Structure 1
Amino acid sequence: MNADNLGTLSGHETELRAWLSDWYDHAFATGFIRPPFILDDATALRLEGYFDVGLTPAEGVNAIFGVVH
């Protein structure tokens, strides 16, 4: 990465960050997480995958914390 690109996010990264913020807000509002919440690398990768396939943040919360049938 050159100096001109430092601090610049791609459209994907910008959208992913907004999605993750909405995911966090929903997870907090529904009582699945409490601050301070530390997102580990494995969960972050799973969440990015959910974002990439088009799940909503609420669907992402359910996929991470929901009951497996």
Structure 2
Amino acid sequence: MRLPVVRSKLLELLEAPRVPGRAPRVLGVDEFAFRKGCTYGTVLVDVEAGGVVDVLPDRTSTTFADWLRARRRDRVS
């Protein structure tokens, strides 16, 4: 389609859909800039299904570890 798009607008449209019925077996983790040099986030991707699992508000290991712990509790309960 080759439509001109501003990168920041695409990031505003990014939403994390719920993973239907199963946890991803292979989780891809990457950081990106909401605003280069200022604000960074982390995107979690189901590598096998090719979909976004969640978007974290920063790129710290603490936030990611908390996210993993919360999903483990959901799975165990």
TM superposition score normalised by structure 1: 0.32
Structure richer in strand, relative to its length:
2
Structure richer in helix, relative to its length:
1
Higher relative contact order (CA 8 A, sep 6+): 1
TM superposition score normalised by structure 2: 0.30
